[in-house]
Structure 1
Amino acid sequence: MSCGDYNIYYTHSNEASQSFPSGCSTIQLPVQEHSHEAELNITAEFDFEVRVSDACSRCYSRGGLCELDKKAEFNCIVTEEAFQKGIKSLEVIAIATSFAGIGVLTFIIYCFWRKLSSTKDIWKKENLAHQNVKAFLRNRGPLVISRYSYSDVKTMTKSFNDKLGQGGYGSVYKGKLQDGCFVAVKVLNNSKGNGEEFINEVASISRTSHVNIVTLKGFCFEGSKRALIYELMPNGSLEKFIYKGNPSSSNHQLGWETLYKISIGIARGLEYLHRGCNTRILHFDIKPHNILLDENFCPKISDFGLAKICPREKSIISMVGARGTVGYIAPEVFCRSFGVISHKSDVYSYGMMVLEMVGSRKNIDVSVDLTGEIYFPHWIYKHLELNEELGLLGLLNEGDEDNARKMIIVSLWCIQTDPSNRPSMSRVVEMLEGSLESLQIPPKPYLSSPSRSSIGSSTVMGSMQYDSMY
């Protein structure tokens, strides 16, 4: 028998016991010589290292006692107290595991419920939009414009191969009808609104037929798929041509004669919407972006997604919330204390747009710092009032200067804060086509420059914001 397992043998006698295995060395502890046999009085400090087997360690961890039987074989003795302690430990572990499982299960159920609720809300929203559009088409009866299937739309756009622009309500693609006519196809997102934008476009533009209103060739309504098909305007939007510093306008600056004709064309289009239709149509989003130009730069008003239709004899409408694009919205649209909402709200937007055409810039100059911020309508009014040089670029002759001054004076009349002081669009056309001498300088608009936080803000209520056209 060897001492390789570190078994310890102790005797009170200084003489080695004959029963010790021959391979073991004895340890003489420093004890008192006359101590009682039942006692062990240590008289000095010493280091004592005990190493136990893995089996013994596992026994102690379970609350047991390590013992060697008479045959020097290992036994783990578990007492009743240790046994009960182990049972309690298992119970604690079982309870903790149960709570953890319940918590995980609850979390999974919660996530599933949230996802189900979200899906249900989206389904309800899409279903509401579908029902709204379906009811509109049913109540309208046969439409003069064509209705296409979604497969027709894919065919005419060659599976949406040529993208013209992107906006808040969807994307615009170039297409071609069977008769060879090129079109712009606006595919609407499913998640926007309750079908109101689609209904507004079809309801309003299908009633129109005017050289300065974009033509709606057809539409698609098939399940959740909705699209509008317009005549294609080769020169895109007016916005590309009027702002200095715009890369797309660097080689396409329009002459003053062209700008003047465009301003008259837009005015005639608005006059037609306000008075020429069997119902009055208020556009509510007149801006350079929504004016499209054909191959001869004839302007056409587009994007009727925010339009409102009302009887011809009705000049005042009620409306919840503001709609339009910041910088072009009439004061009374976002604050009723300025007056009532009517067709004069479009007149205001038109005036702001023409001022931008004249100045070849946004009405707010964001290139200057806050202290030097320039509000162009105030700047141009001051120079006009003092009969000073307008400093406008590209004025080649006296005719150009007269047209520019007429556009400025008419615009300043259009942006009067009080709607009752603004001219109708019929009067706007008369003033633009009349002589400069017959025009009076209007009172100065007293609205101050908008805050910088509003500059560049997009549409208040969902107008399309495309990069190039439509």
Structure 2
Amino acid sequence: MAIHEYDFTWATFVNCTRTTENKRYNFVSCLSKTDAFVYVIISYRAALQLEYAEPFCSFLAMTPIKFDPEQMKRNGNIISLEHPTTDVFQLLKHGFSVPIYSRGVSSISGCLKDAAITFLMKTHKVGIFFPRVAFASTELTFVPCIEYDHIPSSTWLSYSLWVLVYIAQILIGLSILGRNVIAPLAIFIFLVHKLWREKKSVDAVEKFLRSQRALAPTRYAYTDLIAITGHFREKLGQGGYGSVFKGVFPGGILVAVKMLLSNSRCNGEEFINEVSTIGRIHHVNVIKLVGFCSEGSKRALVYEYMPNGSLDKHIFSATGVAGRRAFTWDKLNDIALGIARGINYLHQGCDKRILHFDIKPQNILLDRNFTPKVSDFGLAKLYPKDTSLVSMSTTRGTTGYIAPELISRSFGVISHKSDVYSFGMLLMEMAGGRRNADPRAENSSQAYYPSWIYDRLTQPKISEISTTFDISEGERKLCVVGLWCIQVRPSARPAMSKVIEMLEADVGTLEMAPKPFFSSEEPIPTISVSCLGSSSELPAISEDE
């Protein structure tokens, strides 16, 4: 059993040396004298704290009484008596009730049961989405239960539980702090950082466009693009950098509008590359940039329209294997020559050498006469013509067409010969009418076309091959030139000007290329997969190696 001061209403008698206007003090005239004034102070559910008493009053007595709303007027914590002299003695006569608490709990299981009931009640009040509050209330119920009911051997248990309670409350506090303070702060910092990056990207692009204003193509507003494309109604295709839509200029001139993704990387580098390279190029085998748009995060490039799409749609069958060819061998040779002339112009015909780094069938577009045009300069780089060594911070290109030296310095120096390698892989696919790597090939030996065709070209006298292998002069020429272009060492590859001569020459005058792959007798340099995403610069080595 336990009695607490909060269970009673208290009457405190004080003796003052003079009168007071304090409304808490009820004057008792029958107990007062000329120089001693007796007051009674009624306090509800708490005993009077003596430090709050008037300094000229002294304590006489204190006793519990029963709260009687008929005789007492309560205004907040202030309780006054209508007739203090008579009322106070009437209240004393009534006495007071003593509450007796008996929990009836004699085991830890009983305390756990009470704690569970408290948790359910608190959860019902605060909601199931705030279990931390309910759990904290449950802790404050379970531990005092063990202490107050004097469960045997509970002292050490209660101490341990109090430690766990404090730890749990600290964790609950941290979780609430993380949810209500740290999480919003982290989101705010992320949004500010993202906004800063976008602003920095826009500033970099605008600075470039102002410096190139005299040389750059026409700049269009975003509203102009909406009108040109008819609200982007007809979609021509989609790539890694955005979507391409068909547009019409006044007068019926068709264009292709390439909308770049707003989250494109490199601070708009691919956009700057396109404008700075194609914007100053005028060649029949390079796509023409008609104009561009840059408004905040909205960026677009406007090209001349290519009605026959990209080359890959014509040289590959629907199943991805060799089938009926869309072009004759003469036409394929003409297309290969056009591509070679376009790349050679990039390497030699401009003020600066332009390295494309992403030559592949998807980036070769065909006009209405199937004249090829090199496109997509998002990965391109400009260098002085006298620069023979190129230092790069990241690997560029597409798997299957990327030159070995772009992956590892063990193969050689990065230069214009890297584009030659990609062009060679493109020639091999044009010749085979299939992807160079095709795991679905009929025979495992045909899975990699360059290796398979090299063996056929260099071993024609074997009886089992000569009876089943037949190759036209057109395919033979494209394969021989392609094999020269895909030599592992850059120094063994011909320049694009030499490639043009080879494509224009008679196939009988072409010398067979060395085997461009590692044979079983040659050591294969170790290539780390991680280097594909490395941001460290690839050191340049001599091309004579």
Q: Match for residue 160 of structure 1?
A: 232
* 1:118 CA drift (Å): 2.2
8 A Cα contact 1:323 1:460, kept in partner: no
Write out per-residue CA displacement over residues 434-466 of structure 1, whole angstroms, 9 at most, x where no aligned residue.
Answer: 1222210011012479xxxx9xxxx989xxxxx
Amino acid at match of 1:344: K
**Structure-2 change in CA distance of 1:375 and 1:131 (3 Å):** same
Q: Match for residue 357 of structure 1?
A: 430
- Is residue 134 from structure 1 mapped to residue 206 from structure 2 by the alignment? yes
Amino acid at match of 1:274: H
Selected match of 1:186 from 254, 258, 266: 258
8 A Cα contact 1:356 1:362, kept in partner: yes
**Among the aligned pairs, what percent are the same residue?**
47
Q: Match for residue 140 of structure 2?
A: 92
SS of residue in 1 equivalent to 2:243: strand
Amino acid at match of 1:436: V
Q: Match for residue 317 of structure 1?
A: 390
- Is residue 434 from structure 1 mapped to residue 505 from structure 2 by the alignment? yes
SS of residue in 1 equivalent to 2:499: helix
8 A Cα contact 1:241 1:249, kept in partner: no
Q: Match for residue 21 of structure 1?
A: none
* 1:390 CA drift (Å): 11
- Is residue 290 from structure 1 mapped to residue 363 from structure 2 by the alignment? yes
Selected match of 2:281 from 208, 228, 231: 208
**1:322-341 paired onto structure 2 within 5 Å:** 322-341=395-414
Measured in 2, the distance between the counterparts of 1:184 and 1:384 equals 42
* 1:92 CA drift (Å): 2.1
8 A Cα contact 1:324 1:460, kept in partner: no
8 A Cα contact 2:323 2:433, kept in partner: no
* 1:375 CA drift (Å): 1.7
Measured in 1, the distance between the counterparts of 2:468 and 2:337 equals 23
Q: Match for residue 464 of structure 1?
A: none
Measured in 2, the distance between the counterparts of 1:346 and 1:389 equals 34
Measured in 2, the distance between the counterparts of 1:284 and 1:392 equals 35
Q: Match for residue 307 of structure 1?
A: 380
8 A Cα contact 1:326 1:460, kept in partner: no
* 1:80 CA drift (Å): 12
**Structure-2 change in CA distance of 1:197 and 1:166 (3 Å):** same
Selected match of 1:120 from 192, 217, 223: 192
8 A Cα contact 1:409 1:439, kept in partner: yes
Amino acid at match of 2:140: V
Amino acid at match of 1:210: H
8 A Cα contact 1:283 1:308, kept in partner: yes
Write out per-residue CA displacement over residues 243-280 of structure 1, whole angstroms, 9 at most, x where no aligned residue.
Answer: 23348998872222221111111001011111111111
Measured in 2, the distance between the counterparts of 1:90 and 1:379 equals 76
8 A Cα contact 1:190 1:225, kept in partner: yes
8 A Cα contact 1:321 1:334, kept in partner: no
Q: Match for residue 422 of structure 1?
A: 493
Q: Match for residue 243 of structure 2?
A: 171
- Is residue 230 from structure 1 mapped to residue 303 from structure 2 by the alignment? yes
Measured in 1, the distance between the counterparts of 2:447 and 2:379 equals 30
Measured in 2, the distance between the counterparts of 1:435 and 1:250 equals 26
Measured in 1, the distance between the counterparts of 2:365 and 2:322 equals 15
Measured in 2, the distance between the counterparts of 1:115 and 1:213 equals 45
Please report the RMSD computed on the Cα atoms of aligned residues, expressed in angstroms: 3.3
Q: State which drifts further: 147-156 or 166-175.
A: 166-175
8 A Cα contact 2:232 2:245, kept in partner: yes
**Structure-2 change in CA distance of 1:251 and 1:149 (3 Å):** farther
8 A Cα contact 2:484 2:513, kept in partner: yes
SS of residue in 2 equivalent to 1:198: helix
Count residues with an aligned counterpart.
370
SS of residue in 2 equivalent to 1:78: coil
Measured in 2, the distance between the counterparts of 1:279 and 1:181 equals 31
Q: Comparing both chains, which one has the higher relative contact order based on Cα–Cα distances under 8 Å and sequence gaps of 6 or more?
A: 1
Selected match of 1:78 from 101, 118, 128: 101
Any gaps of 5 or more consecutive residues in structure 1?
Answer: 1-74, 396-400, 462-470
Measured in 1, the distance between the counterparts of 2:381 and 2:169 equals 62
8 A Cα contact 2:473 2:507, kept in partner: yes
8 A Cα contact 2:286 2:373, kept in partner: yes
**Structure-2 change in CA distance of 1:385 and 1:81 (3 Å):** closer
**Structure-2 change in CA distance of 1:122 and 1:370 (3 Å):** farther
Measured in 1, the distance between the counterparts of 2:310 and 2:422 equals 16
Q: Match for residue 473 of structure 2?
A: 402
**Structure-2 change in CA distance of 1:372 and 1:247 (3 Å):** closer
* 1:100 CA drift (Å): 4.4
Measured in 2, the distance between the counterparts of 1:216 and 1:162 equals 20
* 1:144 CA drift (Å): 4.2
Amino acid at match of 2:278: I
